[in-house]
Structure 1
Amino acid sequence: MPYLIIEHLEDISDWLWLEYSHVAEWWGDRLVFTNVLPEERERLAKLGSVIGESVTRFPFDRSKMIVLDLQAEEELKPEDIEEDTIIVVGGILGDAIPRGRTREFITSKMERVKVRHIGKPQYSIDGASIVARLIADGRKLEEIDYEENPTIKLDEFSEITLHYAVPKLDERLLLTPGLIELQKRELGYTKADEERSDEELEAFFEGKGELG
């Protein structure tokens, strides 16, 4: 199994922590965070290995590295990945309209590195990491399903649209665990409101239909 590096480029918000935690569930002890500030080391070490240096400054053999970049010309394929491959993902919370920040902060600073995309959609950090894991496990990109910009109905009056793609496995959206609950808290939902919607959340995750 290859390694996955997340080049950490954001403050650790609640949303980012949920995404990082989800990545850790998929990559286990093969997950490495780079570009980590001293005050962030202890917290991120709960999820994976931590390196203060930026991946763009590593003295490693860059022929073993693959940067996932939406602007890359070639797609990531299972045959690109070997046991000692290092896949690099930008720890960037995306915008509704991609701004090419992976190219700006990572790819442009790493000569002789392989650069690959995982399709036209923009994924979240955990979504991209899951797709990379599925490809590392032998799936071709065209075999990986996803839903782009899914809208999640929270109740009769409220819904959120995620402005990125979410991978699917066996018809089930691999949504960031805890994300719906976080959005509800930010919208002022009470504990009773959350408990009342538990059955709807379960139905949603099982692909039975829309929330609400």
Structure 2
Amino acid sequence: MQHRTTKNRHSSKLYVVEHLDPELEAWSALEYKAIAKECVESGSRFLLSSVPESLKIPHDLKNTKGLNVEHRGIEELYKEGICLLDPAASKELSPEDGDLFQAFLFGGILGDDPPRDRTSELRKKGFEGRRLGPVQMTTDTAVRVTRMIVQDQVPIDKIPYIDHPELKINKHESTEMPFRYVRAGDGQPIMPEGMLDLIKKDSEKGFEDLL
């Protein structure tokens, strides 16, 4: 089952990633590109907030269709109708939340292993929270799952997942990813374009450092 991008009555949503890091790693840039692309396809909007003025955004990312960059924090931009995707929340996100909230807020970087609870900085601001299950997700996966739930109206337990997939680096090596992904129709994890090549490159570099 591929994730759907069908426009429906829940299609006009805003997905906000609060960039909680002074740097912008290459893998984060790929995730942000993927989020922007899928938001455009689903008729929704993507905002990257709290981006430091000093942060130089790569040219190709800056010109990505659907990506809106904001230096101000979320609390300066929106006061209500916001749902914080929070691993510590008591309630799971449900399709009904598509009627309750207009914006969905994510604390980047979500893909820490082990998780560093970056979301705690946003939790202090008093936004109502929902969780996406017990397994850590990458930022683009968290946005993808949220969109499937509130726009496509797929219950969280009906989404096809693949946990901790093993990615083949070369003929002799593989690496296990410590995250949950949405499973594509071919059984593979849905990942941003270019992510697999980046993971392979980093793995090879790490192996060379051992020599």
Q: TM-score range by the shorter chain?
A: 0.7 to 0.9
Correspondences of 1:18-97 after superposition (within 5 Å): 18-28=30-40, 30-40=45-55, 43=58, 45-47=62-64, 48-55=67-74, 57-58=75-76, 60-62=78-80, 64-82=81-99, 85-97=102-114
Correspondences of 1:130-141 after superposition (within 5 Å): 130-136=144-150, 137-141=152-156
Closer, same or farther in 2 for the Cα pair 1:65/1:93, shift >3 Å?
closer
Match of 1:119 among 113, 133, 137: 133
Distance, in Å, in 2 between the alignment partners of 1:85 and 1:41 is 30
Per-residue deviation, 1:2: 0.8
Distance, in Å, in 1 between the alignment partners of 2:135 and 2:204 is 31
Per-residue deviation, 1:156: 2.3
- Preserved CA contact (<8 Å) 1:3 1:84: no
Gaps of 5+ in 1: 190-212
Give the structure-2-normalised TM-score.
Answer: 0.79
1:105 aligns with 2:105: no
Look up the equivalent residue of 1:81 and give its one-letter code.
G
Give the structure-1-normalised TM-score.
Answer: 0.78
Per-residue deviation, 1:115: 0.2
Greater RCO, 1 or 2 (C-alpha within 8 Å, sep 6+): 2
Distance, in Å, in 1 between the alignment partners of 2:13 and 2:99 is 6
Q: Which one has the bigger helix percentage?
A: 1
Q: Secondary structure at the match of 1:126?
A: helix
What do the CA deviations read for 1:125-167 (whole angstroms, capped 9, x no partner)?
0110110111122111011121111111222221111111111
Distance, in Å, in 2 between the alignment partners of 1:183 and 1:172 is 15
- Preserved CA contact (<8 Å) 1:16 1:93: no
In structure 2, the residue matched to 1:201 is: none
Look up the equivalent residue of 1:22 and give its one-letter code.
A
Closer, same or farther in 2 for the Cα pair 1:83/1:172, shift >3 Å?
farther
Gaps of 5+ in 2: 1-11, 206-211
Runs of 4+ in 1 over 6 A off after TM superposition: none
Provide the aligned length of Structure 1 versus Structure 2: 184
What do the CA deviations read for 1:30-78 (whole angstroms, capped 9, x no partner)?
00010012244764543411211111x326332x000001111101111
Closer, same or farther in 2 for the Cα pair 1:78/1:7, shift >3 Å?
same
Distance, in Å, in 1 between the alignment partners of 2:62 and 2:96 is 31
In structure 1, the residue matched to 2:176 is: 161
RMSD: 2.1
Distance, in Å, in 1 between the alignment partners of 2:100 and 2:37 is 19
- Preserved CA contact (<8 Å) 2:18 2:108: yes
What do the CA deviations read for 1:89-122 (whole angstroms, capped 9, x no partner)?
11205332323221x21112x22x2200011111
